[in-house]
Amino acid sequence: MAENTVRTGRLDSCPNQSVESLINGKVQNAKWENFISKETNEYIVGVRGDISILNEVSPIHLQFAVDGDRFEIRFLEIDKEAQDIDGTNEFINYLCGLYDQGISEMENTNQPIPDQEVKNADYSADQLIAESNSYDGIYSFEDESCSVSFTLIGDTWQSEFLLKTGLGSDYDSENIEYDGGIVNTNSLFEESGNIEIGHLNGNTLITNISGRSVTLRKAQ
């Protein structure tokens, strides 16, 4: 039952495909496993196999913790090295094809620009600016454990994260965490510009909070 929940489930980053189809598309020699964790008493569904990035093959071990019809990535190991949140986010992008898309875009930057594109260069720049500004607004998410919001203005973002501790709203409000960074096309990065923390898709912002992928929706 737990394994089927994961196999047929969807990730917020690419909800149009099941987890099983994502695994089959990217993980070679995939082998599924499931058991109950002795430490946490949770149902764990794991996948072992190999992935190939830039012609380098690395073994992976991925584990999902399952609670009813919900699940989240609990552990990821690539080439026998445990991954942090950033590494897990990169792997999700890889599963969803976003990593491949980024590589293709970088490769295409060195290609000659057709004459027609040169003629429309000014228009394209204006169009890109308009598309970028269309992301401006407030994106929010809230459940029983936390409340988070991102405010996007131009090429910058600011966030507020409130953890619901159960110690009262006054205490929680006094411990709100604030952060900020830059927006490049449809991706959000830390201030350094080196680490991607989320990406935009229409009126949604997808990021990772406490090890789980979360979708924030834009206020209308």
| pLDDT tens digits along 16-68 | 889 999 999 889 999 999 999 888 889 999 999 999 876 788 999 999 999 98
Radius of gyration of the chain (CA): 20
What is the model's pLDDT at position 6?
A: 94
Answer whether 0.85 is exceeded by the pTM. no
Alpha-carbon distance 25 to 88, whole Å?
Answer: 18
Q: Are 94 and 51 in contact (CB under 8 A)?
A: yes
Q: Are 48 and 61 in contact (CB under 8 A)?
A: yes
Q: Are 60 and 50 in contact (CB under 8 A)?
A: yes
> Above pLDDT 90, what percent of the chain?
35
Report the relative pairing of strands 10-11 and 14-18 from DSSP bridges: antiparallel
More confident residue, 111 or 135: 135
Residue 111 has pLDDT above 70, yes or no: no
| pLDDT tens digits along 144-187 | 888 999 999 888 999 999 998 888 888 888 889 999 999 988 88
Alpha-carbon distance 61 to 51, whole Å?
Answer: 10
